[in-house]
Amino acid sequence: MTLAIMGAMPEEIAPILEKLENYKTTNYAGNRYYEASYNGIKLVIAYSKIGKVFSTLTATTLCEHFGAKKLLFSGVAGAISHKLKIGDLIVATQLTQHDLDITAFGHPFGYVPEGAVFVEADKEMIEISKEVAKEMGKSVQEGIIATGDQFVANEERKNWIGETFGADALEMEGASVAVVCDALDVPFFILRAISDAADMDASFSFDEFLETSAVESAEFVMRMVDKLSR
């Protein structure tokens, strides 16, 4: 089985690559993909670069070119829910695009014809994540993650996204990865560590907590891989 692990930035996959003794680097479609054997399965790891377009390209490449049968995303996010603090982990149950707007044609925010406002993540991997959380002694929340091509650092915008979509966290890649995997029937799992509160201090918090939050997320994802490879 080929299993894909994806992040948006180098910092999000660096802790994963550090856990692998050897890997092969493949350059394809303007990006680098890292291939390795791990516990009898093939891993393909990549960071997409930031945003929905690059993450769509990378997720499609992982599935179609490298043959990934499951995809796990490890990264960071901004909190919307007051229950989420910096360093907390959230597993996406559903994902939505908060910046998709054709409401002028009578459609709800986040919707396009023949599409859906929300895409559901894989329930089996969510259940496995509960086992991992218990074994690691971590409290991991589940919720809706909203995606858009914006680094949100505005309280009003953050609150609007939370109210409109019932979202608990926001980031810039998850929903596009979800759309790709859903269309290609590839089960996917998206985990985010909270790096900021998506408010006026977000840019400061993000820089300060990016690496530590990414390590938290990556450690959890590798525990998931251990279970999936059995």
Among residues 11, 12, 171, 173, the one annotated as catalytic is 12
Distance CA 65, CA 50 (A): 21
Among residues 11, 168, 173, 196, the one annotated as catalytic is 196
Distance CA 22, CA 80 (A): 38
12 part of the active site? yes
216 part of the active site? no
The catalytic residue positions are 12, 196
